[in-house]
Structure 1
Amino acid sequence: MPKLRHICLTLLALSVSTLTHADEKRYVSDELNTWVRSGPGDNYRLVGTLNAGEEVTLLQSNDATKYGQVRDGEGRTVWIPLGQLSNQPSLRTRVPDLENQVKTLTDKLTNIDATWNQRTADMQQKVAQSDSVINGLKEENQKLKNELIVAKKKVDAANIQLDDKQRTIIMQWFMYGGGVAGVGLLLGLLLPHMIPSRKRKDRWMN
């Protein structure tokens, strides 16, 4: 009788309820391990448990009893309340993924920081080199200015020496000219006196 009663209830449930066929991945909710049954209702016997967060495949669902038939990773086909299934992976699965994502982002940020620091160091080195070149050009410019000042002083000193030499030469020419003129004047004064005296002497001798 109990077996017959069980068969009748099963046929009644199957006739009244609407089975929705699916074949989708679902995840057991992140609570304690969930009991599963042999059929789509609380009146069916318990046949085991599914681990919290375990991935299963939803084969079909019973809208009347709110149960779904699933297949676990071991290939078992059992029924579980739909409220204990989730479309999202469990936290046990998502946390490692999130940790990996955080690690990946951290590595990227570290690489970005290292790249930025390297670029900053390169820019600072280039700026330092530019400053060194600019300072070298300034020093070279100042050196050329100093050399130009020294050259101008040398040119001025040479011009002064040239002017002194020119004045000396002019004075010497004046002195030579004056000496020649003086000698000519003396000769002009003396020669007339010397010539007549010779004539008078010649006349006396005759």
Structure 2
Amino acid sequence: MPKLRLIGLTLFALSASAVVHAEETRYVSDELNTWVRSGPGDNYRLAGTVTAGEAVTLLQTNDATQYGQVRDSNGRTAWIPLKELKSEPSFKTRVPDLENQVKTLTDKLNNIDTTWNQRTADMQKKVAQSDSVINGLKDENQKLKNELIVAQKKVSAANLQLDDKQRTIIMQWFMYGGGVLGVGLILGLVLPRLVPSRKRNDRWMN
């Protein structure tokens, strides 16, 4: 009887120390698969393992032994040390989300790179077009300069020709003027001699 009474008191104590909570989701530690037991303590037999990072439902806890009773995704219940349970999703669970986030950011970066490359290509195209226009204007300017130089040379040549013609005309006028002056001088010398002789002849005949 004392032994039965002792066992009964032990079971009562264990029952009393077990605290019942509303069912909460917990996550198994990210370390290797964790052993679970059939009861709330290290002295209970091993009941299997749970996968690291697996989400389980916390049914109740035992503050005395720091164990919690959990139910896995397959509906099996067992006890596991509370230190092996986390309130936040495990790294294993978060990895796919992080990978998705990384993929989303990578896609955005790729889109940004594509957009930037397109804008850069457009700017380079515009710059090339501007360079082409500028080079065309430079060529046209040089062509106009060359034409101006040729025109200036032609004007200079025309001015030289005009000066030569002016000098020729002036010389011709000098020659004409000298000839007229010479003829007038000759006439002025010859005519006076002719006129008096005629008068003398007229007088002699009378």
Structure 1 length normalisation: TM-score? 0.77
Shift in Å, 1:149: 0.7
SS of residue matched to 1:65:
coil
Kindly indicate whether the alpha-carbon contact (under 8 Å) linking 1:68 and 1:79 is maintained by their aligned counterparts in 2: yes
Instruction: Give the root-mean-square deviation of aligned CA atoms.
Output: 3.3
- Closer/same/farther in 2, CA of residues 7 and 192 from structure 1, 3 Å limit: same
Partner of 2:14: 13
Partner of 2:84: 84
Kindly indicate whether the alpha-carbon contact (under 8 Å) linking 1:36 and 1:50 is maintained by their aligned counterparts in 2: no
Partner of 2:64: 64
Matched, 1:158 2:158: yes
Distance 1:83 1:9 in 2: 24
Higher mean C-alpha deviation, range 66-75 or range 133-142: 66-75
Kindly indicate whether the alpha-carbon contact (under 8 Å) linking 2:69 and 2:77 is maintained by their aligned counterparts in 1: yes
Matched, 1:175 2:170: no
Distance 2:101 2:202 in 1: 147
Shift in Å, 1:190: 1.1
Kindly indicate whether the alpha-carbon contact (under 8 Å) linking 2:36 and 2:79 is maintained by their aligned counterparts in 1: no
Matched, 1:142 2:164: no
Distance 1:43 1:94 in 2: 34
Distance 2:167 2:80 in 1: 129
Partner of 2:125: 125
Distance 2:116 2:138 in 1: 32
Shift in Å, 1:111: 2.0
Unaligned runs of 5+ residues in structure 2 are none
Distance 1:114 1:194 in 2: 118
Unaligned runs of 5+ residues in structure 1 are none
Distance 1:164 1:95 in 2: 101
SS of residue matched to 2:56:
strand
Shift in Å, 1:110: 1.9
Paired residue total: 204
| Identical-residue share of aligned pairs (%) | 73
Deviations 1:150-187 (A, max 9, x none): 11101111111110111111011101111110111011
Distance 1:174 1:21 in 2: 139
Matched, 1:190 2:180: no
SS of residue matched to 1:99:
helix
Distance 1:51 1:60 in 2: 20
Deviations 1:49-96 (A, max 9, x none): 765533234354322111224465678876433133223423442232
Partner of 1:116: 116
Partner of 1:101: 101
Distance 2:40 2:114 in 1: 59
Q: Which amino acid aligns with 1:198?
A: R
Distance 1:197 1:131 in 2: 98
Structure 2 length normalisation: TM-score? 0.77
